[in-house]
Amino acid sequence: MITIIDYKTGNSGSILNVYRRIGYDVTISSAPEEILDADSLILPGVGSFDRAMQNLSDLNLIPVLEESVLDRQIPFLGICIGMQILTTRSEEGIHGGLGWIDADIKKFQIPDEHYVKIPHMGWNNLDIIQEDPITAGVTGRDRFYFVHSYHFSKPNDAEILATTRYGYDFPSLIRKKNIYGIQCHPERSHASGIRFLKNFADLGG
């Protein structure tokens, strides 16, 4: 069973819709005992870094997540803010992150003269650096929907599965053992996103 963690930051419903469409068994929960029962976990996220950490902490979910993801090592996918809070810190906030991956979250720094708008909002590609089961069937031509002002910065190179170019290249898909993080929103990325989420679900066997 895949469990989508509901920590009051939006878009869990749209992830559920994708899995329902392709016939996978999923639940949405914020109850620690249900989350401990999951075979794989998805941490969605919209909004700010601090709010996401605050909500996880208010719901007493951090120890539960650590037990499932760090100790039992079940497949885990963080999406957007759910990816960003895997790090130790962000320029966006004052709270520390989960600290599961040693990296920073930085604000896009693009010179004014390029007319580049922040947030990075729209469709873009995953330029695959390392093959992985989670990107099976996904190519550089597949399009994914991004919306963010901050991005992953300087993880261990071995942890970068794909980068995306917006002004410059930033890590958009990362993996450390059983922990995956993706910056874009596969749940709103048509067939390409559905394929990606199916790949993730299939990791759980």
Partner 1 sequence: MFQPRIIPCLLMKDNGLVKTVQFDNPRYIGDPINAVRIFNEKEADELLFLDITLSKPTGLFTRKKPAEIQYDLLKKISRECFMPFSYGGGIRTIEQIERLLSIGIEKVAINTGALEDPDLIAHASRQFGSQSIIAAIDVKMGRSGTYEVFTHGGTRPLKTDLMTYIHHLEGAGAGEILITSMDRDGMMQGYDIPLVRMVSDAVRIPVIACGGAGSVADIAEAYYTGHASALAAGSFFVYHGRKRAVLISYPLMSEIEKLFPGGDYENSS
130 binds partner 1 (CB under 8 A): no
148 binds partner 1 (CB under 8 A): yes
Set 92, 148, 184, 187: catalytic member: 187
184 is catalytic: no
Residue in the structure block whose two tokens are 């993801």: 69
Set 120, 148, 151, 185: catalytic member: 185
145 Cβ neighbours under 8 A, 6+ residues apart = 122, 123, 184, 185, 188, 189, 193
Query: Among 1, 17, 25, 91, which residue sits at the site for partner 1 (rule: CB under 8 A)?
Result: 17
CA-to-CA distance for 186 and 21, rounded, in angstroms? 14
In the window 87-126, what residues touch partner 1 (CB under 8 A)?
110, 114-125
**Which is nearer to partner 1, 92 or 159 (by Cβ)?**
92
Residue in the structure block whose two tokens are 């300087």: 154
Partners of 29 in the beta sheet?
5
Set 80, 148, 159, 184: catalytic member: 80
DSSP-derived secondary structure letter, 22: T
Retrieve residue 56's tokens: 């996880």
195 binds partner 1 (CB under 8 A): no
Radius of gyration of the chain from Cα atoms? 16
DSSP-derived secondary structure letter, 134: G
Applying CB under 8 A, the residues found at the interface with partner 1 are 10-11, 13-14, 17-18, 21, 46-48, 51, 110, 114-125, 143, 145, 147-149, 165-167, 185, 187-191, 193-194
> Which residues are known to be catalytic?
80, 185, 187
